[in-house]
Structures are given as C-alpha cells and as structure tokens.
Structure 1
Amino acid sequence: MSRFILGLTGGIGSGKSAASDYIAEQGIAIVDADVIAREVVAPGTEGLKEIKAHFGPEVIDESGALIRSQLRQRVFDNPDEKAWINQLLHPLIRQQILAQLEQAQSAYVVLVAPLLLENGLDELCDRVLVIDVDEQTQLARTQKRDQASEEQVAAIIASQIDRATRLSKADDIVSNEDDLRALYHQLDKLHAHYLELASQK
C-alpha cells in the first residue's frame, strides 16, 4: 500500500475521538477500528451468527443485536472465551481495516484503534501518534463520560498496554491534559508534517 498511514491511539479517556474528529475536519479519511468492530457483529453478519452459536441466544436482544455488556461479562474473566472471541473477530476486523485503508481517498489516512499496539496494527502504519494523558485524567474523564465506577475504569486501564510502553512505541505524542484548543494547536502542526511526509511517499 503506497499511501501514508498514520496510526492513532491512546488509553481510554485520552481523547482519541476528539483528535480523530478534528483531523477528519481537515479532510482526512479516518478508519476507526472500534466502528469496524461493531460492524462485523451487526445483525445478519457471519460474526454475529458464530457468537450466537457459541454463547447462546442470551447474548442477543429481541431486535437481533448483540448485547455487548452481556458478552463482555462472559469473556472478561475467562481467558479461553476471550481467546475464542479474539480468534473470530480479529481476522474479520483486520480484513475490513485493510479494505477501508485501500479505499481512502485523502492525502493520508488515519487508522484509529485503542488497541493499535496490543493487536499489532501498528505494523500497517508509517507513523504512530499517541494521545497522552495521565492515569488520573483517564479515570476522571471515563467515569464522567461512561457513568462507570472507578473499579471498572481501572480494570480497563489495566487491560490496556501500560502508558510507558505506549509512549515508547510512539513516533509523535500529543498531550491532551489541557483544553481542546491546545489539542488542536498540536494537531495542526502534526497535520502539516504528515501532509509533507505523505507527499514524499
């Protein structure tokens, strides 16, 4: 693939969506792994049929959609079930990611994925941009956004790659401790840099 691909990641509550939304406003195509992960288990998909066959009808609601919270509970504390679901979904998600990266028409394309580094998706990218905040900010923002308990958020943070490792794998780091204007200012500079890199590819 000859186009320039930027991988964008960060821990939960770091502001990945705010960053990718702003980059999208600059006319850049966004491929969002979270959106794709929902699409591959939408009603009527092969992915959802396999989940229903494996976990039973209780993980599906009346409208035929996956009850995510139910599935999450089933796999969260069960390594075997987690491995099963990952083996099913990762190839489906990766296939869609590759197709969407291929179809992107902008100067460069951004692959947004919370588990970019954990799932080895960074190998598809020319550069990795990490949106960074400290753990206290992650906790506070996610609790407020998702109405979740501190324990729930802490468990999610613990299941992700640790901050030091994430930062060590980054080519570019944007701090999002401040307001959106500060975030956008940093992104403007990087956007200009990425356009330049993309034009050389």
Structure 2
Amino acid sequence: MYKIGLTGGIGSGKTRVADMLAEWGAALVDSDAIAHELTAPGGAAMPAIGQAFGAGAVAADGALDRAWMRDLVFRRPEARAQLEAILHPLIGQHTERAAAAAQGAYLVFVVPLLVESGRWRERVDRICVVDCDPETQVARVQARSGLTEQAIRRIMAAQAARATRLAAADDVIVNDGATSAQQLRARAKALHDRWCQLAAAPRRPPPCGTGLPE
C-alpha cells in the first residue's frame, strides 16, 4: 500500500487534515491516538508507567496524569527518556498491527514527531508537513487546551524547528492564520487526488541488492 507520513507541529492542524483524508478514503494510523489508548484507564502502558514514576503519574481514573507528566519531563530530560522507553516500543507494535490491517486508497501514518524520530524516511513513500506559523500555533493550542503560552512554547521547543520539518517534506499543506476552512480543504483534496494517482501507478521493483532490510 502506498504510504504517506503526515506530520506538523502542535496546533498545525494535522488532525483536521488527517480526518479529511480518511473521509475521502485513506486509511489512517495515528500514533498519538495509539499513545492515548495505551495511557487511558486500563491501558497497556499504565502498569509500567506507575511502577517507573509512582502514584503521581496516575490520575484518579487510572489514566496517565498528563499535566503531571508534562511538567516532569520538561524539568527532567531523563524522565522523558524513561517514558519514551516505555511507550515507543508499544506504540511501534500497535502501529505495525494497525498498518497490516489497514484498507484504503493509501495509508497515512499520522506522527507528530515523525521528523524528530529520524526513522520514518525509509518507511513511507512521501512525507507531508502541515505548516503553520508559531504565533498561530500558540493561539490555537491556547484556545483548545487552556495551556499557558509558556507551556505551549516549551512543547514547541521540544519539537523539530519549522525549517527542519519543511526541509524533510515532499509535500506541504499551508494552514496558517490566514487559511480558511475552505482553503485548507481544497489544499488537502489536491494532495489526496495526487496521492491516489501515485498509489494506483505501477510500482517499480527496487534495483538488485537494494530490497527492504530484513
């Protein structure tokens, strides 16, 4: 199946774009949604998180206390590494299973830290970045989450720089503060149509000796 890696900074609108692509027939595998499932009440990651970080990491309903953990990982980089060591293997396993079962015109991996991970370039056919100016990112995240500007900018600082994301992109969907809902939909639809064409085109086999790694 033809594979697209969809990414963008916090507040860029990548989830809106992903929902549109699914509406038009793409299959989605969303790593953020998988992470939320793993850290929900009864989630597969919660026993290890509770053991590693203690009761403070667990909310009253048994889910990950995201505000508590967010504060911890920004103060202690080693805590971020510890959390990632728990979550990333599980996210990888769930992603692989979801991708194997996916059906659609093409497959979209929605990965917030796609560029940062450095592992996706060879796993997808194209990388698409939903691009947005930092001021609009902050305003959107504040409106939906109530986080302070300082907290939002700390999250943004932990993500790849805008220029780094754009340098990795094969395709870009602009969704800045001047973009209307109709414009965003038109831009996403144009790329969807192009990806459908690419997905339907005959795939040439790799040259001898350059097949997929074992």
Pairwise TM-score range, normalised by the shorter structure: over 0.9
Cα distance, 1:119 vs structure 2? 1.8
Q: How much is the aligned-residue C-alpha RMSD, in angstroms?
A: 1.4
Normalised by the length of structure 2, the TM-score is: 0.88
Normalised by the length of structure 1, the TM-score is: 0.93
CA separation of 1:121/1:97 partners in 2, compared to 1, >3 Å: closer, same or farther?
Answer: farther
Where do residues 157-172 of structure 1 align in structure 2 (5 Å cutoff)?
157-172=156-171
2:7 corresponds to which residue?
9
Structure-2 separation of matches of 1:150 and 1:79: 21
Mark the runs of 5 or more structure 2 residues left unpaired by the alignment: 204-214
Structure-1 separation of matches of 2:33 and 2:119: 15
Counterpart of 1:28, as a letter, is A
Structure-2 separation of matches of 1:68 and 1:37: 12
Identity, % of aligned pairs? 41
Q: Select the residue among 107, 110, 119 that pairs with 1:109.
A: 107
- Structure 1 segments of 4+ aligned residues over 4 angstroms from their partners: none
Mark the runs of 5 or more structure 1 residues left unpaired by the alignment: none
1:53 corresponds to which residue?
51
Where do residues 133-144 of structure 1 align in structure 2 (5 Å cutoff)?
133-144=132-143
2:200 corresponds to which residue?
199
Secondary structure, counterpart of 1:49 in structure 2: helix
Q: Select the residue among 42, 45, 64 that pairs with 1:44.
A: 42
Secondary structure, counterpart of 1:118 in structure 2: helix
Superimposed CA distance per residue, residues 49-73 of structure 1 (whole angstroms, 9 cap, x where no aligned partner): 0111111122223332221111222
Secondary structure, counterpart of 2:64 in structure 1: coil
Counterpart of 2:50, as a letter, is K
Cα distance, 1:46 vs structure 2? 4.0
